[in-house]
């Protein structure tokens, strides 16, 4: 990132506190960029005045303008094309495919470590208590949204996958949302307009939102009632392995909460499938 590169080039000229700020920002990146000056100062162990002086040293009017520029650089760096290009480049440089597999394993382990029993239990309760479930996720998150939808349909749950086919299709689907429903919103750094509109509508009408994202600083995490985190490194890889594992665990936990009903649903599905397979064989 150009801004961090600029900081590193001037590192020797910074004061002790300013070097501490620079090192913290370089290590914590996007998470630090979303903290307010009041939140960030105690995390670094400096005063708010030190953060203001640091920003001015770099040519900004104050910390708010520096923070805005910092966030803008992260958004630029974490675009889909940029992430994919970086993933392809680093994969071949570091050894393919071993490095990708190791990265996925590490992300899954980090996700498992961050997932508390209390958060999973609360998420399952939100799902089990919902009249209808509306799942929304676009761009990279669409495959995750469809996977969760597929899992829930197999359990004979009343679930809808929000899609956008043009015109007023999104509004027609939002009009079906009522008190007692649940929105499950999936996404990463850049929240698509349709996902944001769905969350805004749910919040306005006091409908709970279960977020599935990658960091507590993401827009989905900050606006949802509860958010489960599937670790992802947007600057290295576009892997969805950790998020997919998280959703699989969530779906199994939901099924386990009402095991008899889940088993009946799966047995019925097997019976229907077997009926049509036998019918096909009899025609041959």
With beta carbons less than 8 A apart as the criterion, state whether 86 and 80 touch: no
pLDDT tens-digit readout, 39-70: 888 888 899 999 999 888 888 888 888 888 88
Residue 136 in 3-state DSSP? strand
- pLDDT tens for residues 266-275? 788 778 777 7
CB of 148 closer than 8 Å to CB of 250: yes
**Are the C-beta atoms of 110 and 242 separated by less than 8 Å?**
yes
pTM for this predicted structure: 0.66
- Residue pair 255/262 in contact by the 8 Å Cβ criterion: yes
The beta-carbon contacts of 46-53 under 8 Å, at least 24 apart in sequence, are 46/17, 46/20, 46/21, 47/17, 50/17, 50/18, 50/21, 51/21, 53/18
Query: Nearest to residue 157, comparing CAs of 141, 175, 133, 138?
Result: 133
What is the pLDDT at residue 272? 79
Cα–Cα distance for residue pair 113/68, rounded to 1 Å: 32
Q: Identify whether the C-beta of residue 107 lies closer than 8 Å to the C-beta of residue 244.
A: no
Structural domains in the chain, CATH included, are 2-77 (1.10.10.10), 100-273 (3.40.50.10490)
Q: Which residue has the higher pLDDT, 89 or 141?
A: 141
Closest CA to 242 of 252, 229, 253, 251: 229
Percent of the chain whose pLDDT exceeds 90: 40
- CA distance linking residue 140 with residue 58, whole number of Å: 35
Task: Compute the distance between CA of residue 25 and CA of residue 7 in angstroms, rounded to an integer.
Answer: 10
pLDDT over 70 at 281, yes or no = no
Query: How does 176-203 read in b/e, with b if 16+ C-beta sit within 10 Å?
Result: ebeeebbbbbbbbbbbbebbbebbebbe
């Amino acid at each position: 990132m150009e801004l961090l590169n600029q900081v590193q080039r001037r590192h020797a000229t910074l004061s002790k506190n300013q070097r501490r700020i620079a090192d913290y920002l370089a290590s914590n990146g996007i998470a630090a960029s979303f903290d307010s000056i009041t939140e960030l100062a105690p995390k670094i162990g400096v005063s708010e005045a030190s953060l203001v002086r640091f920003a001015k040293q770099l040519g900004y009017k104050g910390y708010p303008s520096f923070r805005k520029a910092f966030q803008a650089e992260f958004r630029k760096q974490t675009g889909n094309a940029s992430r994919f290009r970086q993933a392809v480049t680093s994969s071949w440089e570091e050894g393919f495919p071993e490095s990708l597999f190791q990265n996925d394993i590490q992300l899954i382990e980090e996700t498992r470590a961050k997932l508390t029993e209390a958060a999973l239990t609360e998420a399952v309760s939100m799902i089990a208590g919902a009249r209808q479930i509306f799942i929304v996720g676009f761009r990279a998150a669409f495959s995750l949204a469809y996977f969760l939808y597929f899992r829930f349909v197999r359990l004979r749950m009343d679930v809808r996958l929000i899609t956008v086919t043009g015109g007023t299709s999104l509004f027609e689907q939002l009009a079906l949302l009522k008190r007692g429903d649940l929105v499950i919103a999936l996404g990463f750094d850049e929240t698509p307009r349709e996902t944001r509109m769905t969350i805004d509508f749910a919040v306005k009408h006091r409908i709970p939102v279960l977020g599935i994202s990658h960091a507590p600083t993401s827009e989905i995490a900050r606006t949802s009632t509860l958010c489960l985190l599937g670790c992802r490194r947007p600057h290295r890889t576009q892997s969805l392995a950790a998020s997919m594992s998280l959703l699989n665990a969530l779906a199994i936990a939901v099924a386990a909460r009402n095991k008899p009903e889940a088993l009946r649903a799966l047995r019925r599905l097997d019976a229907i499938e077997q009926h049509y397979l036998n019918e096909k064989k009899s025609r041959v």
